[in-house]
Amino acid sequence: MRAFVVVVEEGSLSAAARKLHISQPALSQTMTALERQLGVQLMVRRSTGVQPTEAGMTLLTEARAVLARHDQALSALARHTEAGSTVLRIGIPLELPADLLPKPLADLAAARPGTRVQARHLSTAAQFEALRDGELDLGLVREHPIGPDFDAMLVAEERLGVLMAAEQASKIAGVDGIRLDALAGLDWVGFPRSGSPAWYDELTAILRSHGLDLGPAAPAGQELIAEVKLAAVTGGGAFALAPPDWSQPVPESVVWTPLVGHPLVRRTWAVWAASSHRRDLGLLVASLDRG
């Protein structure tokens, strides 16, 4: 219902998909499934956008009321749990800097021993959705949120380098590292755009501007875990991106090399609901603030 409200308010599936940080086909499937579940047509799809039907307008009114009551209930429950044991739910992406969370979590445990931290590994897009649905209290994401619903703070910046076969690296690496345009002709071991659309677009724009032909994007839902990166680059002919303090062990046949000029910087933001008044969340955010 939350997605339906956004579609109607935005007037088009494409605009709503951008606001919800999901792909347009996925959102279209969600709307089709909702219509099938309710047994009525909720909107008319045109080339210029979407128009709610009479049934859609009825659902819009009811959905807004239900969602407002849902958010109110969560807020009321949060006030009760503040006094005793409670759970703080955090979203974590792949390759989080190893030194980012240990001290803030230790500080939180000392200050709020009644708070239990529950971590979930989720992509950036999935974290934004979970934050909107009240299923996460704090997200660690690769994109700065848009709009007034969230507050955000930059907590990490990583200068990405290149993972590639040692033999291949020896042919193109200079004293200061590898020039980005020297990777032209090699396959990029990339991640699905659906997981973090804005970061994917920023990254691929820089790669293409240096003459790299990236080929098709990785399929949605395919996680770019460490084992996949290492396996893909070991044979040569491909490269992957990773930060300098990448925590995974690297075999002798693979090397990490910096990029000349550090053209690729991956940023991580802490994001939380602007309406949140949780003290334990505030303590954790304050401890994450390095500035």
**Of all residues in the chain, what percent carry a pLDDT higher than 90?**
52
Question: For residues 257 and 279, what is the distance between their CA atoms, to the nearest angstrom?
Answer: 42
Report, as an integer, the average pLDDT of 239-264. 89
Beta strands in 113-216 (DSSP E): 115-121, 138-141, 150-159, 161-165, 187-188
| Euclidean distance between the first and the last CA atom of the chain, given in angstroms as a whole number | 39
Give percent of the chain above pLDDT 70. 92
Q: What is the pLDDT of residue 25?
A: 80
Q: If pLDDT is split at 50, 70 and 90, which confidence band does 36 have? A: confident
Domain of residue 229 covers 161-263
Q: Give tens-digit pLDDT for 214-224.
A: 877 677 666 67
36 and 72 both lie in a single domain: yes
CA 92 to chain centroid: 9
Q: What is the pLDDT of residues 101-143, one digit of tens each?
A: 999 999 999 998 888 999 998 999 999 999 999 999 999 999 9
Q: Are residues 172 and 256 in the same domain?
A: yes
Among residues 78, 96, 115, the one where a domain terminates is: 78
Co-location of 222 and 151 in the same domain:
no
- To 10 degrees, the CA torsion angle through 193, 12, 19, 68? -140
| CATH at residue 238 | 3.40.190.10
User: Both 10 and 40 in a single domain?
Assistant: yes
Higher pLDDT, 138 or 64: 138
CA dihedral 161, 167, 170, 176 (to 10 degrees): 10
Using pLDDT thresholds of 50, 70 and 90, give the confidence band for residue 255.
Answer: very high
What's the confidence (pLDDT) of residue 74? 65
For the chain, give the mean pLDDT.
Answer: 87
* Model confidence at 265: pLDDT above 80: yes
Give the pLDDT confidence score for residue 21 in this predicted structure: 66
Question: What domain count does the chain have?
Answer: 3
The one-letter code for the residue type at 132 is R
Query: With 80 as the cut, is the pLDDT of residue 290 above it?
Result: no
Lowest mean pLDDT among 9-23, 165-179, 187-201, 256-270: 9-23
Are both 256 and 275 inside the same structural domain?
no
Question: Residues 151, 112: one domain?
Answer: yes
187 and 254, same domain (yes or no): yes
Checking if the pLDDT of 291 tops 60, the result is no
Does 177 share its domain with 244? yes
d(CA 119, CA 163): 28
Q: Are residues 216 and 277 in the same domain?
A: no
Residues 160-212: tens digit of each pLDDT:
999 999 999 999 999 999 999 999 999 998 888 888 999 999 999 999 999 99
pTM (2 d.p.): 0.69
pLDDT of residue 98: 84
Strands laid side by side in the 115-121 sheet: 115-121, 86-92, 138-141, 265-273, 150-159
Asked if residue 199 and residue 259 are part of one domain, the reply reads: yes
Residues 168 and 194 in one domain: yes
Together in a domain, 115 and 255:
no
